[in-house]
Structure 1
C-alpha cells in the first residue's frame, strides 16, 4: 500500500494544517481541520495496531510514558472501522503522535469558540475532548 502525498508530507516534515502566506487566519476552520486530522490519524493507528477495544500487546504507544492514555485517546476519537487507513503500525503511531502535537495547539481556540456553544472539535458528542488531547500531549510530547 502506498501512502498518499499528504500523509508522506506529514510524516517527513511534521506539516500541519495552517495558513499560507499572508492570508488571514481562520482559527475556527484551522482548529476543526486539526481535529479532523487527529481523528483520521487516530483511526489509522487503531486499525493498524489492532487497538479496537484496548491497547494491543504490540501497540507501538505502549513504550511511551503515557502511551496507554494516548492509545485510549486514539480509540476515543477514531471515527470508524476504515481498513483502508491501516498502514504500517510504526508509521501510524508516528502520524498519530504528530497529529496530537498539532491538535494541542487548537485546544485553546476550541475551548474559546466551540465550548460556549456546547460543542467540542475533539469529541463526537458534547463531552470535553480537549482535556484528553492536552493530557496526552503534555505527557508524551517532549
Structure 2
C-alpha cells in the first residue's frame, strides 16, 4: 500500500528537503532550556563537604546554647583541600590549605555576595554574611570547588 504523493524515494527526499529548508523562529522555551542546560556546565565542580568540624555541633553536644556562641567555626574538606572558616557578626575570616593562588566567593541562594583573593598564606576576609544558607566557591585556575550549604 502506498501513501498518495509518496510514490518514490525521490518524492520523499524532496519533501524532507523542503521541510528542513523552511526558516522557523526558535521558540523561547528552547532558549530557556539551553540556558538552563548551560548552568549545569560546572556540575562536576568538586563539592566540599562539612566533614571535619562545626562549632555549633560541638556546643550542642556539650549542652551549651547556640546563643552563647560568638563565632561559628567551620571546616570543609575535599581531596587535598581544606577550607577553614570563622563566621562572626563582624564578618568571615578563613584560610585555604594548602595555600594557593585562588579566589573565594561567598554565595547565597540568590547568587554571589562578595569575593576576595587569597593571600600568600591562603587567608581571606569577607564582610558579614547575610542570614540564611551560604556556601563558598573556591576558584583556582580551571578548578572550581564548592562547599556544602550551611545556615548562619
TM-score (normalised: structure 1): 0.28
TM-score, structure 2 as length reference:
0.27
> Which of 1 and 2 has higher RCO (CA within 8 Å, sep 6+)?
1
Choose between structure 1 and 2: higher strand proportion. 2
Which structure features the higher share of helix residues?
1
